[in-house]
Structure 1
Amino acid sequence: MKKKFYNVLALVVIAATLSSCATVFGGQVSACQKTKPAAGQPARSVRGVALVADILLFWPGAVVDFATGAIYRPCGK
């Protein structure tokens, strides 16, 4: 019973670390993705495909993507 618990725990940890789609596949996070917009500035847009993939595959991955800022689209030049 204890071995099965550890196997399930290891599977959950691996899924959590590999499931944040925008962090893994989104490329390098730019400085504008990491910073919050100032008061009066428009909100940052979210990568819709990465958000849907995070929710469908493993929803804690969305938390990781929002925490790192990778879920937001890169700023235009």
Structure 2
Amino acid sequence: MSQKERINLEDDYDRWQWTCPNGHHDWEPTNHHFWCAACARIPEVDASFDELRDQKTGRLYERDDVELHTPAGPYDSDLDGRGSA
């Protein structure tokens, strides 16, 4: 298993490093995928997506290639491979 990219959802720096595939920063995790408020305001764009873009590298990461963390533990413990706190 390859190393997952860790994203701390409460850390502003981490949040701004990652964008939706269209380059927006106002994405949120939901039900094992992501949703973007900016994309939702564009009629022709689907606001739900399965990849995040790392602004440092430009690379897209699938949902199961990232670990989303909150102060209580992993956001999706079944995807992240361990239980939450």
Q: Which has the larger radius of gyration?
A: 1
Q: Greater share of strand residues, 1 or 2?
A: 2
Q: TM-score range by the shorter chain?
A: under 0.3
TM-score w.r.t. the length of structure 1 is 0.25
Q: Greater share of helix residues, 1 or 2?
A: 1
Greater RCO, CA 8 A, separation 6+:
1
